[in-house]
Amino acid sequence: MSVITPHPQVDIAARVPALAETSRVTIRLHPRRMSVPDPAASKIGGVFLWPKSEPWPECETTDPPYWWEGEWPVPEGARVSLIPVLQLKASDVPEMEFFPGTDHFQLL
Protein backbone atom coordinates (compact mmCIF):
# COMPACT_ATOMS: atom_id res chain seq x y z
CA MET A 1 0.00 0.00 0.00
CA SER A 2 1.31 3.39 -0.97
CA VAL A 3 0.52 6.58 0.95
CA ILE A 4 0.90 9.86 -0.84
CA THR A 5 1.83 12.94 1.17
CA PRO A 6 -0.35 15.92 0.27
CA HIS A 7 1.33 18.94 -1.24
CA PRO A 8 2.40 21.53 1.35
CA GLN A 9 0.12 24.46 2.03
CA VAL A 10 3.01 26.84 1.37
CA ASP A 11 5.06 26.68 -1.83
CA ILE A 12 8.56 26.66 -0.34
CA ALA A 13 10.21 26.78 -3.78
CA ALA A 14 8.34 30.01 -4.56
CA ARG A 15 9.47 31.55 -1.26
CA VAL A 16 13.08 30.29 -1.53
CA PRO A 17 13.79 29.84 -5.27
CA ALA A 18 17.27 28.38 -4.63
CA LEU A 19 15.59 25.31 -3.12
CA ALA A 20 13.58 24.54 -6.27
CA GLU A 21 16.54 22.99 -8.10
CA THR A 22 17.26 20.64 -5.17
CA SER A 23 13.77 19.14 -4.88
CA ARG A 24 13.47 15.36 -5.28
CA VAL A 25 10.79 12.72 -4.91
CA THR A 26 11.27 10.87 -1.62
CA ILE A 27 9.98 7.70 -0.03
CA ARG A 28 8.47 8.17 3.41
CA LEU A 29 8.46 5.09 5.62
CA HIS A 30 5.68 4.34 8.11
CA PRO A 31 7.17 1.75 10.48
CA ARG A 32 4.92 0.00 12.97
CA ARG A 33 6.07 -1.82 16.11
CA MET A 34 5.49 -5.54 15.65
CA SER A 35 7.22 -8.90 15.66
CA VAL A 36 8.67 -9.70 12.23
CA PRO A 37 9.99 -13.28 12.26
CA ASP A 38 10.87 -13.29 8.53
CA PRO A 39 14.56 -12.25 8.18
CA ALA A 40 13.89 -11.21 4.54
CA ALA A 41 11.04 -8.78 5.38
CA SER A 42 11.32 -5.00 5.17
CA LYS A 43 11.95 -3.63 8.65
CA ILE A 44 13.78 -1.22 10.89
CA GLY A 45 16.10 -3.17 13.19
CA GLY A 46 15.69 -6.80 14.14
CA VAL A 47 17.11 -9.89 12.45
CA PHE A 48 18.26 -9.23 8.88
CA LEU A 49 18.62 -11.53 5.90
CA TRP A 50 22.30 -12.50 5.60
CA PRO A 51 24.08 -15.33 3.74
CA LYS A 52 25.36 -18.04 6.12
CA SER A 53 28.52 -18.29 4.03
CA GLU A 54 29.46 -14.63 4.69
CA PRO A 55 30.63 -13.25 8.02
CA TRP A 56 28.59 -10.42 9.50
CA PRO A 57 30.33 -7.09 8.70
CA GLU A 58 32.41 -5.41 11.39
CA CYS A 59 33.73 -1.91 11.99
CA GLU A 60 37.15 -1.42 10.47
CA THR A 61 38.28 0.59 13.48
CA THR A 62 37.34 0.97 17.12
CA ASP A 63 38.71 4.52 17.24
CA PRO A 64 36.03 6.98 18.33
CA PRO A 65 34.54 9.16 15.60
CA TYR A 66 35.70 12.77 15.44
CA TRP A 67 32.44 13.98 17.03
CA TRP A 68 32.58 11.63 20.04
CA GLU A 69 33.19 13.45 23.32
CA GLY A 70 32.50 10.73 25.88
CA GLU A 71 34.28 7.62 27.05
CA TRP A 72 34.80 5.04 24.32
CA PRO A 73 33.77 1.69 25.84
CA VAL A 74 35.42 -0.53 23.20
CA PRO A 75 38.54 -2.34 24.42
CA GLU A 76 41.59 -2.04 22.21
CA GLY A 77 41.67 -4.78 19.58
CA ALA A 78 37.99 -5.66 20.06
CA ARG A 79 35.90 -6.55 17.03
CA VAL A 80 32.69 -4.55 16.77
CA SER A 81 29.82 -5.85 14.61
CA LEU A 82 27.83 -3.36 12.55
CA ILE A 83 24.29 -2.79 13.79
CA PRO A 84 21.36 -3.57 11.47
CA VAL A 85 19.29 -0.41 11.00
CA LEU A 86 17.07 -0.73 7.92
CA GLN A 87 16.20 -3.48 5.43
CA LEU A 88 13.92 -2.90 2.45
CA LYS A 89 12.58 -5.40 -0.09
CA ALA A 90 12.25 -4.15 -3.65
CA SER A 91 8.65 -5.36 -3.81
CA ASP A 92 7.75 -3.15 -0.82
CA VAL A 93 9.21 0.06 -2.26
CA PRO A 94 8.82 -0.07 -6.06
CA GLU A 95 9.63 3.65 -6.23
CA MET A 96 13.19 2.96 -5.05
CA GLU A 97 15.98 2.00 -7.45
CA PHE A 98 17.99 -1.05 -6.35
CA PHE A 99 21.41 -2.18 -7.56
CA PRO A 100 21.09 -4.46 -10.61
CA GLY A 101 20.48 -8.08 -9.65
CA THR A 102 19.44 -7.25 -6.07
CA ASP A 103 16.08 -7.26 -4.34
CA HIS A 104 17.09 -6.02 -0.87
CA PHE A 105 18.62 -2.81 0.48
CA GLN A 106 20.35 -2.94 3.87
CA LEU A 107 21.68 -0.10 5.96
CA LEU A 108 24.06 -1.25 8.69
pTM of the prediction? Answer: 0.67
Q: In this predicted structure, what is the pLDDT of residue 2?
A: 61
Q: What is the pLDDT of residue 8?
A: 80
Q: Can you give the residue ranges of every domain in the chain?
A: 33-108
Cα within 13 Å of Cα(104), Cβ side: 14
Report long-range pairs for 17-21 (Cβ below 8 Å, ≥24 apart): none
CA proximity to 36, closest of 80, 71, 87? 87
Does pLDDT of 3 surpass 70? no
Q: Tell me: the pLDDT tens digits for 46-83?
A: 889 999 999 999 988 777 777 777 666 677 777 888 88
DSSP per-residue codes, 29-87: ----------TTS-EESSPPP--TTSPPPB-S--SPPTT--S---PPTT---BPPP-EE
